[in-house]
Amino acid sequence: MGVQLNAVSILLVEDNPNDVEITRRALEKGRVMNELIVARDGQEALDILFAAANGEARRPGLILLDLNLPKVDGREVLAKVKADPKLKRIPVVVLTVSTREEDIVRTYDLGVNTFISKPVGFEEFIKVVMTIKEYWLLIATLPPVE
């Protein structure tokens, strides 16, 4: 692809290794070449993000967040990210199996940028990834990474 992607890293917060694999592959298929950092639970995600906030690591440019996570729930991760002045500008895309209205409303209330239900079919998943890529990585001007 000749289009210059925003050269940010993507933080994937996902506990299910299959889903990690599926997502990784979908990103590859969608030719999203950005660096992918994987956090396997909410706590790990927060550790990575706050290390970045303190300047100890590179700050991810996009967060793909599952809601149902061990240790620290995805909703809580979202709330903390959006409450932190250094992290709140990172776009968060919630990727979850949930289609519950409560979840959708609640996560938007918490300041999520996009809410996407994980489709069952892989082909559809690739389409979702393409949408994310087009919007968040090609179209949107992401806040500068310090």
Q: Which of 116, 112, 120, 143 is nearest to 129 (CA)?
A: 116
Quick one: which of 4, 121, 139, 141 contacts other proteins (CB under 8 A)? 121
- The rounded distance, in Å, linking the Cα atoms of 49 and 43 is 10
Interface pattern 73-102 for other proteins (x via CB under 8 A)? ------------------------xxxxx-
Quick one: which of 123, 139, 144, 146 contacts other proteins (CB under 8 A)? 123
- Of 8 and 103, which CB lies nearer to other proteins in the complex structure? 103
User: Shortest gap between Cβ of 52 and other proteins (angstroms)?
Assistant: 29
Q: Which of residues 10-39 bind other proteins (CB under 8 A)?
A: 16, 18-19, 21-22, 25
- Of 83 and 105, which CB lies nearer to other proteins in the complex structure? 105
- The rounded distance, in Å, linking the Cα atoms of 65 and 115 is 9
136 secondary structure, DSSP code: I
Angle in degrees, 0-180, between the axes of helices 122-132 and 17-29, rounded to the nearest 10: 60
